[in-house]
Each structure stands twice: as C-alpha cells, then as structure tokens.
Structure 1
C-alpha cells in the first residue's frame, strides 16, 4: 500500500520504513492515515455505524448528553497526548477568567511571533552557498511546490500558499468541463462528463440566455468592467434581428458567440435554474466557449479579448487555475495584438473610427489590465502589463466617460420577473475606474518590488513596502465620497463592487505590512522594532475585510459575489490565524476577536464554495497551513530545537504558560476551520446524489484520511 504522499502524487511507493524514498526526497512526513480499500468491508462499516447508533440510543435512554464530535487530526492528537487537556465546546468561550497584562506576557507573544517567522524562514534550504540575505528574500517571496498531480508549480508571496513550503497544497479536484467536439475526437474516454454530452448540442432558451447575461452584468462585470453593457446589448439586438440571408455577414466587433458563451458561463454560477438535459449549465457554456474560441482566434476582435478575460476567471472559479492563467495571458497578448494599449484619438479625429469604438477599446484594455493585476496577486506571479512599455497609453475610461448618470440593478433569480422590485442605485462608474486603476498601479509597484533582483535585502524591501504603505494611505485619504465605506455602519447601502474595491485595498495593505514578508532576520537586534506599527496595519486591514464580509452578506447575501473578493477573504483568514496562534493568552480580547474574524472568513469561503470551487480550495489550504504552523510552534520534535525560544522545561515553569490554555488555543482554531471544511464536504455529498458508501469513499479521497476520524460518521 502506498503512503499518503505517494498516493496524492500518483507515484510508486517503496513502502520503506520509517520513511519511503519519495517522502525522504521531499523531506515530508511519511504517513499511512488513508484506509486501505482492499481491507474495507461494507459489512464492517455498516456494523460500525449501527454500533454507534446503538451507543447513542443507550446514552439518550439514560439522559446522558451525547458528546460533541471531536474532529481528530494530527494537531488535536498531539494536543491530547502531550498536554492531556480537553476540547472546548463550540458554543462556549474557551477562556472566562480575567487575566492581567504584564510585560512578560507581551514578551511571550513577541517570542511566539519570532519563533514562527524564523522557523518558516528555516524550514527549507535552497542552493548551497547562496547569500543568506538573498536566500531569505527568495524564500519569503515564493516557492516551488508539488501539486496533487506531481507537477511543480510556482506560488508567490501574495498567493498565501507558499506558507505550506514542502507540504503539498490542497487543490480542488474539479471535474473537467465538457470537451469540445475536437477534444472528444481525441480522447473521449478521459472526460468524466462525456456521458452527459449528447451528439447534438442542446438548445438553450433565449430567455435563459438573456437571464444569464443580465446576471453577469449585475455581479461580475461591475468590478472588472471589461465589457460596455450598452454597446454589447445594442450589438446583440442587431445580430439577433438579422435575417437568415444576413447570417454570413461579419458581426459587430464587440459581439461574438464566444463572448456570449463566456458571459453565460458566469451567469450560470449566479443562478439556481437548471436544464433537465444538462448536469451543469456552467460546464456546458465553458465547453461551448472553448469550441467557439477556435474560430475567433483566426480573426480576433475586441470581443475575443473580452471573452478571453472572462474565461480566465470562469475557469479559475472551478479550480482550473492553469487554464485561467493562460487565458488571462492570451487576453493580454491579443489586446496588444489589436493595439488596444495605444491612444487612438488621432484616428477618431480623422474619422477612421468612431468615438464609441475608441471608448470600447479603452474600456477593454484597462479591464484586461485590472484582471491581469488580480491574477498577479492570486498566484503571486509577476506580470508585465503592456502599460509599462507604452509611451502613448490608451485613455483611461474615467477620462472618456460622459457625465450622464449610470445605474446598477440588483438582479437575481427571484427578481428576474419582478422589475418593479429590483433596486436601482446610482453607479459611480467614473470614480470607480479612476480609483481602481490608481490602486492597481500601487499593487503593480509592490509586485515589482517583491521580485526585483535589485532588491537585495530585507531592509531594502522594507523601504519599498513603507513607500507602498504611504501610497495606500494616500489613496484612501483621497477617496471620493461616492466610494467611501463606513465599515461600522449598519444602515448605509454600498454597492457590491465598491465593497470589493475596499476589500482589495485592505488586502494590498496586508501584504505591504505582512510580517512574513517584511520582518527583519531574527537575531540581528532589530526584530520587533517596527512590528507594532506594521502588525497594527496588517491586523486592522484583516479585521476590515471581515467587517466588509459581514456587511456584504447583510446587504446582498453571499450567494452572488465577484470572484475578486475570494482572495482577500483567504488573505484575511491567514492573518487572523496568525494572530490567534501567536497572541498571548493574557490578551483575551485580541485572541477572541481573531477567532471570531477567522470564523467569519472561513464561513464565507464555505458559502461561496457552494458555487465557486476556488473558495473550497482556499478554505482547505487554510486548514493545511494551520497544521504546518502548529508543528512549527508546538511540536518540538521537528529538528529545530536550537531556535531562540524557551525550552520545554522553562515553558512549563513560566507563570505565563498554562497547559490547558495552550491546548484550548489550538482546539478552538481547529474547531472553527473544521466546522467550515466539514460542511463543504457535506454539500459535496448531497450534490452528487451517490449512495452513502460511494460518498464515503469519495470523501476519503478528497480529504486524504478516514472520514470516521473527522466526524463524518
């Protein structure tokens, strides 16, 4: 039987003890937590379930409360075995007694922060002989990691996944989209969804297509705004009203079937409507868009750029980040190919093109630029937008927009047939464009700083990040009133894309002040001098994101959300996790606030994960990071005993150390995360409509361990 790591990598395992050859090469723990299917008996499982039910019934007969389910993991196991402490109930507070703040408590917290950062810095070694300062920069700004498919991928600092280091990051096993016609000819047996595809393409009702397009314009386009809605709808009406004799004529440059299918793939994520002949509207439209793209690439238009930009996010929403990354790059390159990055005012004045076409070119280019920047932060990879090498850039949409008011409509499934009940709100499009591009320029500047080879020390990096922090503060100070958000308000109404803009700002502020990026090397005598200021910026922004999540849920619900909001949730959750696992137990307010905000972020990722698998991947990555950080902070058998922390004996004798509280800290953290993770698995079970045994086996493959051990049975 292969070990867990070899099973995930799909490689041969020699089953050597205590560690197989592959695990020894990767320097990871060699475990066999996954049950051996060859030894699994359905009868044995059934008997076990019946026995558990009998025990529960016996407890109920004697009025004994059934214990709450404890989701065991490596973290909890170590806590119970080594510290001999109990878990907390999810409905009670982990700590109740008042504790006094002392200087020693503050030093204890600083020591935990220092230990975690140093051990992350030392957790892997790069090229021998490399300058230590350069090596530190390289490790803090990204890492190569094996995926579940055994391939190396690069994840940068802003991806948050680089925290896992040698641990394989969890990736959603999203089903492939239905193959296009030429893909079916090549490998029909490789697609798990091929059985749902009929020989003839199903006919999509016009009413449903219009509905999905409206959902796209209501919930996804307002933030990236790569498509001008008025121009698109006008072109669509012209194309659909043409006679059969005119079908062979070229369509408008801002309309194509590829673009329509890309839009509908987004709308399908925001609707609960279904077609009986199709298992997934989203997968169907993705398949159709891939097929239509082949024709568009021979003679690309503005619609091709727009469709590629949409496809990048639509593919990413299902956990297919490689396809999404490539589509985003294609959109940028085709935009360059069409010269969308250039100012075409001269051609407007000469009458060669209309002002409307020039405006569409500008909108498409800058919308693609915003998407490019978003991808740069999502994966932590430096991109080189065309704007950097252009001496005559395209006009920004805020420069060319008319003064006529525009409106955003709260369009949903429930309100589709009730136009009188849809809320309409003034949409500050010009202000949004102006401030969004300013923010993207600052974010791009920060990314360039992270990966610039001229930055040769943490000290230089801190100088740059301080400048970025100042620029971000200035951006917020200059924010116009129509984009201002009061996170403490419970009565004001803010548009969804305005809330996403603020979440993006706070995420940028987090990265500019992130301790794992900017903190000096431990032992140089300067650790912590700037920590209070930077950590305050970092934690305050993370808390603001949690407040924005709650505000978004109250105003619009989390059922429909722009994909750009997901990564700030992930980033904020990592900060809350960091605060929760390093804060002194004598700072109860700070600790409880971190736990509460962590729960907000994890639950939001769980809810969004019901229709965007990317959120599930990030939620489970948080759980993996929790396990890694626990090992670094609490498990002293990991070979780093020379780190500058108190010895085990000193820790136990210290008046500020309490065994029960240290255990409760991690149990509370694990409970918050596992509650969200377990519900995503339950949703998967209900969605697939499988028998309970098949579902049990699928969950086992998904989480990589026995479902009984984590409370599913």
Structure 2
C-alpha cells in the first residue's frame, strides 16, 4: 500500500512541550495550534521554538543566507562594483551544492572577474543608488526632491556656509538638499500628477524582488546547462571567453588614436569601439583635402587672392590681443609651430588649419577699417571676406575634422553673432561642442601623456578647446535665450588648476598696430588661464538657471525661489573668492586692469541680472505666501548690477577706448541698458535720476562706439531706443488717462493740465538715422520741480504693468521699426483687445 494511504500515527513523545504544560509539569501532545491540555483548560497555547536549537532547520538557515547573498549580489552588480575572483574549484563546488539544495544560484555574479578598462580615464567612480521615485499623485515638499545629481560646480570650493547663504536676503532657511538642485533634478522632474495610469510611479516597489520578464526566447537561454565532463577544456577557454564577454559588456566607451594622431571617441553603443580600424579605412571616405583642393575651391568662389603676409600678421596679433584672452581657445606657441610644420614641412597636424587661420583673421579685422586701402575685398568687407574663406575651407575640413576644426567653429561663431547672423552663429557653436565630444576633447588625457602618446602641451590644448567650446555654448545660450543641453556626467577632462596658473604668467600689451603698442608701453601680467578657469566656474553656476528659472514652468514657485536663492549665494561667493590678481575696485580710477578681466566682471554682473530679473515683478512668479527677499530686492540688485556694468565700461574706455571690445561686451551692455531704461522711469530712482541717466548714456555711447566693429551693437542700440520710447509713451498714456485704465486707482498718476502744457519734450531721432549723444538721454524731462509727481505716477503704472515689461520678449527687431510696430503697439490703446 502506498505511504500516502497509511493513517497518520500519533507521536508518542514530542520534542518540546508548550509553555503552559511545561509550567504545570504535565505531558503535552504537541498538537497545533493548541494542545489538548490547553484546549480543555482554554489556555493560550504557545511554543518557544525559537529558543530550542533542536527545532532549527539547517535548510531554512541556508535558504535565508542564500537569499541575502543573492540580494547583495544584485546590489553590487547594479552599482558596478568589482568583485574579488573566487577559486575555480570552490566555485564549482558551490554550484553543485546549491543545485542539490534546489536554491537559486548566484555563481554568475561570484565568478565575474572584470578586467580593468584599457583607458583608466574612462572608468567611473561608484555612484550611490538613486532614491526611490516618489509618488506622482501628490506635490512634493522641498525635502523630497530628486537629488541624485549634484551641481557640476562644486560649492565647497568657496567654503560656502549657511551664514554666507543668508546674504541673499532675509528668507526663511530652506533645506540643504536644494543646494544640489540641477537641470535634471528640478527641470525634468514631473511636478504635476499624470492622468495616465501607466505613468504613475509608486513607492512600494521592492526592487530586489523584481524578476526578468517571462518569454519563450528568454527561457531558452536561462535553462541550466550541465557541467562539462571535460573540465580541463573549460579551464583553458574560460579566460578568453570571459574577456570577450567583458568587452561586449563595456558601457563606458573607448578612445582610438589614428596613425596621424587623430583621436576619436566611440561610445559604449558604438560597435566600432571593439577593435582598431584598419589603417587607411577612414581616408577612403575623404575625397578632397584643403592642401590639394583648398586653393582651387577658393578661386572658384572668388576668394582666392593671396593675402599679404604683413596684413595677416597684423590681424592675427589683433585677435590674440583682444579676442583670444577672454574666449581662450588657441595657444599661440602651438599654433605657430603647427603652422610652420603645415607650410614648410607639408606635414598635416591637428593643431593648425587654413580655416582656423582665416577665422582668426576675420575677428582681428573687426577692429580695422571695413575696407583695406590696398587689399581689395569689395563688395565684401574685410571681416566678411576672411569669414567667407574660413567657411569655404571649413566645408572641406569637415570630411576629416581635427582639433583646429573645433577652434575654427568657435571663432566663426563669434563672427557670425557679431554680424547679425545669429542662427548660423548658434549652429557653429553647437557643431563645435558636438565635434569636441567626437574628438574626445571631454576626456582626461593624463594616461596618454604618461605613456608618451601625447605631449603635455597637446593635452593642455585639448582641454582648453573643450572648455572654450563649453563657455561659448553657455554664454550664447543666455544671449539668445535658447536651450543648451550638455551633460556633465561624461566629462572627465579637468579644468585649469591653480598650479598650472602660477608657472605660466606672460606679459600683455595693448597691441593696436605694427607701429604702436597702444597708449601704454608698460606691459601687464597676463592671467589668461585664471580668467578662463573662473569663467568656466561662472558658466557652471548659471547653468541650472537656464533650465529651471528660464526653462520650466512646471516647478512650484516656492521651490523655484528657494533653489534660485541658493544659486545666487554661490554666485556672490564666487565674486568674493576671486584671486587678488583679477579683483577690480569699481571706484579705482587710476588702476590698470586687463581687458579680459574687466569683461569677466561684466559677465558676472550680467549673470546677477539674469538671476534676479524674473523676480522683479511682485506677482509674476513670486511665491504666495511671500517668500524670500521679494521684488524690491530683485529690482535693486538688477539696477545696481547695471550701474556696475556702466562703471566697468568707463574703466575700459579710459584705458583702451571702446573700439576694441570682445563680442560678449555687446550682450552685457544690452542687458544693462534695458534695466537702466526701466530705472529711469521708476520711482525707486527718482532721487538718483541724474546718476541713472548718466549710466544709461554710457551704455548707449558704448553701443554707438561698438557699432563700428559689430553689427549686432547697432541693432541693439536701435532696439533700445525704440523700447525706451515705447515704455515711456505707454507710461505717460496711463498716467494721463487714469479713468481709462481699470487697474489704476482714480487720481493716481494724474498730472495737472497746466504742467503738461508747459512741459517740453525732447524728440528722439529715428533709429534709422544718425544718433546724437542727446538722443541717448531719457525722453522724460529731468526737471526738479516736476520730477516728483511725474516719477510717482510713472512708477505706479510700471509696477502694475511690470509683468508685461519683463515677460515680453526683448529680442532685437531688424528692419524698419515703423513698419514692424502698428499704432496700437507704439501708442498704448486701452480699448484694444487681443
């Protein structure tokens, strides 16, 4: 008879009696859940099985430990940690034991012996696990934001404390985690609940218990494979096969150096990273080169005339004096050496190209007359002629780009922006940063310098070019109000360090022409690397604001204000911690400062404006209930920063004149002038109207001077004149007709008819015509007796309408202003709808 059919035999003895029977010292039948004695006496029947080692099951203990080991293995694999190798015999024995017990094997993780990457610079440090995703059904408080990505800029370098943060205002303290808010941590977070059930993320998911999906094809690969009878064959082939598996499993990418020194970067999903390409494979796709076909191509386009050597040297000197120190992308020494090799030895080099040479000449020519007296380029101006040559040669170089190609794109981007071709300039900047990643400029080359593959100056140039492309993309993104998307996670190249700055201090002279070295013959200690380093830091500080404050409308206002306050604190700390050699005293009228140091401080004050301008309105994005310093503080910071920019312009003009200013100066002056126009009609500045008008006049005069070099300066000047007239006419219209404005209380801003009749109004010249210094002054009359009433009325109107002022786009308007703006737009019509 089968065993299952036998009746259950009652056990005569039990191993452990229940607690009640043990205390009464009577026999217990060990029945569960209640023994017979407890059931009769209606007692609570309990066993102390946990304290009795005779009840402990070895299998249960092994299963529990095995489950824990499996969980730890998953944790290690998810974080990419490296395991120590396990002896082969022990691994096989463990596999057999686990199979015998019927437990899930963890041998795959234990046997894994990862080989170190070929390039040590490509290895990543272990990253902590991201926190569990919060539920999408509720709005998150600040302390539950996704903070798994930190700022690319390290605030700890400034010794920033809570006391330092408090300088931004008297706001209540916010969570420390907000200091680490970044683009993906704030801007890409889903703030509002989703209506789709598929997008709901719950927090009760046990990641450790997630199993792979069930599929017939997957099951065919997951079936257990019996151990081979020939263990010697397995031991001999295991190492080779494991190496191949590791190579296929690589997720960090690799660098390949071609025979001509060209370095290419292949990402982890690119199959070309598995082996070096055969010699000459890339050259098969190049059907033309600049050396063989460049001159013929220029001749066909009409730009083939030979450039006099003295003119070229002069333009190159202008570029290295006034352009390259602030937007540092070209090393003069390495450039001259590579140029000599390319021309004299006919040896191709990645650090020189004809496109780069012509691009630098185009920027140097912006500080010369538009048409040279002896070198005829008509109808094209001298800068446009060299830019056209550079663009024609660049089209050929793109078939086989190099580091000099990236440099040429960065330089051409500045020229195109200055020539009012913003789209092309934006494209060149984007192409430069993409090509920089393609050439692995974002990777640290220290291992290759150590192995002698690269020389230290070459690795230093690669680092300089990458960060030059980065700062160009960031500043241009703020200038045009366009997004910039650069992930800092994959960047391993280091920024300039203080150690590298001390040993390379050179002399700088204000070169103007071959016959003169400028107004001063006393050279200044140059600090190009220091300016580059702190400009990079400035761009890193401002990068999150481009994605949060200016790039996302879903972030709650209180979260936005708190994160903005943290970033502003870091911005102020950056200013306080600048080295003494590049500090500037705005009240020092006798000191001598480098032009690129002055521009660095101008960019800082422009960034302060960018960080505060959206908060100038009391209702636009201010959180409710009120939080932070408030709108008046934001207005004060913007106006004071604009005034500081005007003072820096005066220092620049006193030392070097305004005929030679980097293209970034136009954008800075543009931002400052808009704030000063607002300040000129604001009640907060009624006691400082003369000072505000003086600063505004400086900005207009600077743009007038820069118009001879940069077309975008002329466009900015014309736009500001039109904007100034529009704002003042609108304000006057509202102040004169309070009854027609439902938002303005009756009587506020009204002016006496007799005063208006006697008031004389200065006429502003047409933007298309010549500009006088008088036309740059505020249209509002500056009369002490009438200033109080007028300014108070204008201020009330502007405070009510501040959302319209600063939410409206301020992009320059090309062409004829009179045709672009209709009567309703130019003269405020309260009855107009839409």
Task: Give the TM-score of the pair, scaled to structure 2.
Answer: 0.53
In the TM superposition, residue 456 of structure 1 has moved relative to its aligned partner by: 2.5
What SS does the corresponding residue of 2:506 show, helix, strand or coil? strand
Alignment-derived partner of residue 95 in structure 2: none
Q: Deviations over 1:352-385 (max 9, x none)?
A: 2222211111000001111111101110112012
Q: Do 1:211 and 1:416's aligned partners in 2 also have CA atoms closer than 8 Å?
A: no
Cα distance change on mapping 1:253 and 1:526 into 2, 3 Å: same
CA distance in 1, matches of 2:301, 2:433: 34
CA deviation after TM superposition for structure 1 residue 663, in Å: 6.5
In the TM superposition, what is the alpha-carbon distance from 1:283 to its structure 2 partner?
Answer: 1.2
Q: State the Cα RMSD in Å.
A: 3.6
Describe the shift of the 1:522–1:287 C-alpha distance in structure 2 as closer, same or farther (beyond 3 A).
closer
Partner of 1:437: 536
Alpha-carbon contact 1:257-1:292 (below 8 Å) kept = yes
| Gap change, CA 1:640 and 1:545, over 3 Å in 2 | farther
Does residue 433 of structure 2 align to residue 342 of structure 1? no
Per the alignment, do residues 486 and 283 of structure 1 end up closer, same or farther by CA in structure 2, a change over 3 Å counting?
Answer: same
| Matching residue of 1:324 | 425
How far apart are the structure 2 equivalents of 1:565 and 1:352? 40
Residues 498 and 402 (structure 1 numbering): CA distance in 2 closer, same or farther, change over 3 Å? closer
1:679 corresponds to 2:782:
no
1:353 to 450, 454, 460: 454
| Secondary structure in structure 1 of the residue aligned to 2:659 | coil
* More deviation, 417-426/613-622: 417-426
Shift of 1:646: 2.7
Which residue of structure 2 aligns with residue 630 of structure 1? 728
Q: Which has the larger radius of gyration?
A: 2
Deviation at 1:446, TM superposition (A): 1.7
For residues 361-510 of structure 1, what are the structure 2 equivalents within 5 Å? Answer: 361-386=462-487, 388-390=488-490, 392-398=491-497, 401=500, 403-416=502-515, 422-453=521-552, 455-510=554-609
CA distance in 1, matches of 2:707, 2:689: 27
Alignment of 1:244-259 (within 5 A): 246=346, 249-250=347-348, 252-259=349-356
Contact 2:510 2:656 in 1 (8 A): no
**For residues 578 and 239 of structure 1, do their structure 2 counterparts lie closer, same or farther at Cα, with a shift above 3 Å needed?**
same
Task: Give the alignment partner of residue 224 of structure 1, picking from 327, 333, 347.
Answer: 327
Are 2:627 and 1:553 aligned? no
Q: Secondary structure at the match of 1:348?
A: helix
CA contact (8 A) 1:215 1:267 kept: yes
Report the equivalent of 1:238. 341
**1:167 equivalent in structure 2:** none
Task: Report whether the alignment pairs 1:599 with 2:697.
Answer: yes
- The change in CA–CA distance for 1:417 and 1:558 in structure 2 (over 3 A counts) is closer
Contact in 1 for aligned 2:545/2:564 (Cα 8 Å)? yes
* Distance (whole Å) between structure 1 residues aligned to residue 477 and residue 453 of structure 2: 36
Distance 1:218 1:359 in 2: 20
What is the CA–CA distance in structure 1 between the aligned matches of 2:816 and 2:706, rounded to whole Å? 19
Query: 1:282 maps to what in 2?
Result: 383
2:677 counterpart of 1:577: yes
Distance 2:601 2:662 in 1: 13
| Cα offsets for 1:185-211 (capped at 9, x unmatched) | 99xxxxxxx9x9985722210111111
Please give the alpha-carbon distance, in whole angstroms, between the structure 2 residues aligned to 1:489 and 1:658.
46
SS of equivalent residue, structure 2 residue 502: coil
| 1:545-600 alpha-carbon deviations (Å, 9 max, x no partner) | 0000111000000010011111110111011101112226xx64322221111111
Mapped contact 1:227–1:364 kept (Cα < 8 A): yes
SS in 1 for 2:542: helix
Aligned partners of 1:562, 1:661: CA distance in 2, in Å?
Answer: 46
**1:346, 1:310 → 2: CA distance?**
30
Equivalents in 2 of 1:266, 1:606: separation in Å? Answer: 19
Q: Secondary structure at the match of 1:594?
A: helix
Matched, 1:315 2:416: yes
Specify the alignment match of 1:264 in structure 2.
361
Partner Cα separation in structure 1 for residue 408 and residue 606 of structure 2? 27
CA shift for structure 1 position 400: 7.0
Partner of 2:406: 305
Partner of 2:711: 613
Return the offset for 1:397.
2.6
Q: Structure 1 339/522 Cα, relative in aligned 2: closer, same or farther at 3 Å?
A: closer
Does the 8 A contact of 1:521 with 1:527 survive in 2? no
Aligned to 2:124: none
What's the CA shift for 1:522? 9.2
CA distance in 1, matches of 2:497, 2:739: 54
**Closer/same/farther in 2, CA of residues 527 and 313 from structure 1, 3 Å limit:** same
Structure 1 stretch displaced more, 290-299 or 276-285: 276-285
For the structure 1 residues 650 and 443, does the alpha-carbon distance in structure 2 shift closer, same or farther, using more than 3 Å as the test?
closer
What secondary structure does 2:609 align onto? helix
- Deviation, structure 1 residue 503: 0.3
With over 3 angstroms needed to count, the CA separation of the structure-2 counterparts of 1:379 and 1:658, relative to structure 1, is farther
Counterpart residue number, 1:122: none
Paired with 1:519 and 1:580, the residues of 2 have a C-alpha distance of 19
> 2:758, 2:390 → 1: CA distance?
53
Query: Which has more helix, going by share of residues?
Result: 1
Post-superposition Cα deviations, 1:635-670, rounded to whole Å, max 9, x if no partner, equal: 3499995553233x553379xx99549967xx56x7
Q: 3-state DSSP class of the match of 2:458? A: helix
Superposition deviation, residue 443 in structure 1:
1.5
Contact 2:335–2:351 (Cα < 8 Å) also in 1: yes
Q: Aligned partners of 2:740 and 2:443: how far apart in 1? A: 58
What displacement does 1:472 show? 1.3
TM-score, length of structure 1 as denominator length: 0.62
Q: Is the 8 A contact 2:362 2:386 kept in 1?
A: yes
Contact 2:561–2:628 (Cα < 8 Å) also in 1: no
CA contact (8 A) 2:616 2:635 kept: no
Cα distance, 1:703 vs. partner? 5.2
Q: How many angstroms does 1:234 deviate by?
A: 2.0
Q: 1:259 to 1:638 in 2, by over 3 A?
A: farther
Instruction: Tell me how far apart the structure 2 counterparts of residues 413 and 229 of structure 1 sit (CA, whole Å).
Output: 18
Q: Distance in 2 between matches of 1:627 and 1:459?
A: 35
How far apart, CA to CA, are the structure 1 residues paired with 2:543 and 2:448? 30
Tell me, in whole angstroms, the C-alpha distance in 2 between the residues paired with 1:563 and 1:308. 15
Change (3 A) 1:218 1:316: same
- Structure 2: how far apart are the matches of 1:589 and 1:223? 37
1-structure distance, mates of 2:518, 2:336? 18
User: Could you tell me whether the CA contact under 8 Å between 2:616 and 2:634 is conserved in 1?
Assistant: no
1:75 paired residue number: none
Aligned residues: 481
| Partners of 2:510 and 2:519 within 8 A in 1 | no
Distance in 1 between residues matched to 2:518 and 2:741, nearest whole Å: 68
8 Å Cα contact 2:326-2:532 kept in structure 1: no
CA contact (8 A) 2:615 2:630 kept: no
Structure 1 gap segments, 5+ residues each: 1-130, 132-181, 187-193, 683-699, 707-713
Contact 1:461–1:518 (8 Å) recurs in 2: no
Aligned-pair CA distance for 1:466: 1.6
How far 1:629 moved relative to its partner? 2.2
